[in-house]
Amino acid sequence: MGLLGNILVTFVVGFWPMVLVVSVMGMGGPGASNNMSLMVQLMILNSYPIWIFAVLSYTGTAFWGLNSNYFLIGTTTAFLLLNAGIIYFCYNLIIGIKNEGYSVANGTVYYNAKAIPESDSTSFAHIFDQLAYDKHRFYSRGQPLDVPAAEPSSFRIVEDLYYRDADQVFYVPYSRIELVEGADPETFEVIYEITDDTTDQVKSDARDAHSRYYSGKKVAPR
């Protein structure tokens, strides 16, 4: 390869570190490690020096007077080392394990790709990104969560942010489980109402046979 070709390849490959930095930034967004399409695109982008030296090696073209195979081996090795994290994330997704949040694969429950050994996969259900439960216990960020008032074996959703077990109703605002004092689970329903009279305005998002509730708190009689 002539001088101009060597300079051109050097110039193009010289952008590789910047491309790798951009890839790291691309993986910084929420949910990025669960996005297989994004990670495949990043790896294709990150591997462009390999394709350049693969063509040079295949055609028997030297690079600055040296065998292109050396550069092919070097860039491939660097690519594998620098993209090991993305490759690992892709492998997890292929076998059904999410790298962020809860997932169930092969009879095991995971949080952020780490197994939760004490969990029961057959009854496991997650509420939000952080909260989950099975028939034995509750979990927060993959760790057992003590909720003395709730019975996990009968815990289930009513609607929206409201849940119930056999005897009680709970309000679950994303990161915690709160007992709705005095609520009747058998007649409890989620319904938005605004009562406006001459003296007061009462806004509620749920009710049972005897009371109205807003954000898990009793606000008025039925």
Q: What predicted TM-score, i.e. pTM, was given to this entire model?
A: 0.79
Q: Cα–Cα distance between 55 and 72 in angstroms, integer?
A: 9
Q: Cα–Cα distance between 222 and 220 in angstroms, integer?
A: 6
**Domain spans, the chain:** 3-94, 154-222
Q: What is the DSSP letter of 194?
A: E
pLDDT for residue 89 is more than 80: yes
Q: What pLDDT score was predicted for residue 197?
A: 59
Q: What is the DSSP letter of 154?
A: G
Other CB atoms within a 10 A radius of the CB of residue 118 amount to: 11
* Most confident of the following: 11-15, 25-29, 176-180: 11-15
In tens, the pLDDT along 190-220 reads 999 887 655 567 788 999 999 999 999 999 8
In tens, the pLDDT along 109-167 reads 999 999 998 899 999 998 887 899 999 999 999 999 888 888 999 999 999 899 999 99
